[in-house]
Structure 1
Amino acid sequence: MITVILSFLLAANPFIITDEDEVIEKLSQEDFMMSYLDSPFINNQKLELQMEVLTEKIYKDPINARLADNGRIIKEKPGLTLDRLKFKKQFYDYFYNGEDRAVEVPKRKIYPRVDSELISEIREKELGSYVTYFKSGNKERTHNISLAAEAIDNHVVFPGETFSFNKVVGKRTKERGYKRAPVIVRGELSEDYGGGICQVSSTLFNAVELRGIKIVERYSHSRSVPYVPPGRDATVSWYGPDFVFKNKYNQPILIRAFAKNGQMVIKILSSDSL
């Protein structure tokens, strides 16, 4: 019992966590203490919450390798997150033994799903492509088309993986840069943020209608659209229809999407060994 008391006296100072010499957290032993019989224990629920806070402060998304417009490969960049096992050990040593009162926050790398080697392999063979046309003078609609095309460009769909247009492109809002433009709602023309992106999903549908692609979900507009033949469109809406397909090839596929000079171009690429 004397050993326990002495260890807590030693650990009375705060647990200081730094990141690149900047203090990002100061923790107190008392904040995490649970009394159980005559011995103190760590409140692990509070410790887990604290680790979530630290993770938010230091987290960096990994960045996939991608192809530039000129075909050059832009290398991947690993992300960072909290190394929870190392942090727990450091905090336990502090809590029970009075050790490591000031520590550099332990991090571990998060490796991206798509690296340069994979990109170099799956850019070799064109499986399919499709082009549609739009009036570039309609600035708002053109802007929305460009944003959605950028969101799906360089996206890799692995074997057996499902691609969801809504999930990949995300919610079309003013905060995310989308503008109000004409949309079709229940057969009538209206205006909403993201108007025009159905041309991107429709172009993608026509590009991926291949032997090794299974169309999981696809809906047509309630009236014909001018950029694809009747019945060849794929309408999407954040709270409604989605366009979803599954890669049934034994190799990943790479989506390239370009919107410029009044053309919406999508190419589907993969490995020569496909």
Structure 2
Amino acid sequence: MKRTILFLFLLLLLSTDVAFANELIITDDNVNETIIREHFSLHYIDSGFIDQEKLRLLLNRIEEQVYEPGVNATLDDSWTIVPEKKGETLDREGFLRFFYAFFYSDVTFEMKLPKKAVYPRVDSELLSDIRTNELGHYLTYYRTSNKERAHNIQLAADAINNQVVFPGESFSFNKAVGKRTKERGYKRAPVIVRGELSEDIGGGICQVSSTLFNAVSIDGIKIVERYSHSRNVPYVPPGKDATVSWWGPDFVFKNEYSHPVLIRAKALDGKMIVRIFSSDSVEVKNN
């Protein structure tokens, strides 16, 4: 009996040593992973089968650690093109080839993590083409003495500046600007709530959405979603406003041109201006 127990203990110890000797060590600045073969085996079927769910979770975790998005080309205040930057992500197919070779072997592997480039949608060549032809523009005015409101207007204007909307795509003001919070720099300023003047975080950005609405009220742009305030606002004529709220109304339009359109927005010295550009060869697509 004692010999049997000793034999089983030695067998368990040996099998444990083999399992931990068979490792996949990943070398990368952003990832610290040592993968043990046994952790990915389906033991209730056969040790030669891979637990695909665990493998999928591993891939997702590594990809989250290494992913860097590409950065679009933009125009600075002097209209000089700031070139795009490539990002990078996990090369999942390359990783899987290496993982399968490791899994069906009995040796330890060391792998330099395979990656591939992530290319931005807007490169310098495209931006150079769509900045030439002005399709529409609109200008509104605000008081710089209301510093909180002026600050919010500038933040929202910067958020929509250099946005590119491709043919057939829709632009959402709320998605482009994001949630208006104190942590993101927005301040309390006057807003209209149910017909009453009040104060809230992000007050003033409806002037940006309203200026944008009037700038894109042109052939080739379809207004998908737009709401008016419950009372008239002083910066645009009645019925020409576009109220927005993170938890409520959004302003959305669709590009029905044959080329991408570029939004240029600027808030400076009490002037809020939006200009819409595209290629010289742009035309409205036939529906």
Class of the TM-score when normalised by the shorter of the 2 chains: over 0.9
Q: CA deviation at 1:23?
A: 5.6
> What secondary structure does 2:42 align onto?
strand
TM-score, normalization by structure 2: 0.88
Q: Is contact 1:11–1:99 with CA below 8 Å preserved after alignment?
A: no
Q: CA deviation at 1:146?
A: 1.1
> What secondary structure does 2:176 align onto?
helix
> What secondary structure does 2:184 align onto?
coil
> What secondary structure does 1:219 align onto?
coil
- Of 278, 283, 287, which aligns to 1:270? 278
Q: What corresponds to 1:167 in structure 2?
A: 175
Q: Is contact 2:140–2:273 with CA below 8 Å preserved after alignment?
A: yes
TM-score, normalization by structure 1: 0.92
- Of 117, 120, 123, which aligns to 2:128? 120
How has the CA–CA distance of structure 1 residues 53 and 39 changed in structure 2, closer, same or farther, with 3 Å as cutoff?
A: closer
Q: What corresponds to 2:21 in structure 1?
A: 12
Q: Is contact 1:11–1:96 with CA below 8 Å preserved after alignment?
A: no
Q: What corresponds to 1:3 in structure 2?
A: none
Q: What corresponds to 1:243 in structure 2?
A: 251
Q: What corresponds to 2:235 in structure 1?
A: 227
Q: After superposition, what is the alpha-carbon deviation per residue over 1:65-118, rounded to whole angstroms, capped at 9, x for unaligned?
A: 111110111111111111111111111111111456211111111111111000
Unaligned runs of 5+ in 1: 1-5
State the distance in 1 between where 2:40 and 2:214 align. Answer: 57
When the two chains are superposed, the root-mean-square deviation of aligned CA atoms in Å is 1.9
Q: What corresponds to 2:6 in structure 1?
A: none
Pair 1:151-2:162 in alignment: no
What fraction of aligned residue pairs are identical, expressed as a percent?
A: 62
Q: After superposition, what is the alpha-carbon deviation per residue over 1:115-135, rounded to whole angstroms, capped at 9, x for unaligned?
A: 100000000011111111111
**How many corresponding residue pairs?**
268
State the distance in 2 between where 1:202 and 1:221 align. Answer: 10
Q: CA deviation at 1:36?
A: 4.7
State the distance in 1 between where 2:113 and 2:154 align. Answer: 40
Q: What corresponds to 1:92 in structure 2?
A: 100
State the distance in 2 between where 1:223 and 1:257 align. Answer: 25
- Which structure has the bigger radius of gyration? 2
Q: After superposition, what is the alpha-carbon deviation per residue over 1:223-272, rounded to whole angstroms, capped at 9, x for unaligned?
A: 11111111110000111111111111111110000011111110001111
How has the CA–CA distance of structure 1 residues 164 and 181 changed in structure 2, closer, same or farther, with 3 Å as cutoff?
A: same
Q: Is contact 1:11–1:97 with CA below 8 Å preserved after alignment?
A: no
> What secondary structure does 1:221 align onto?
coil
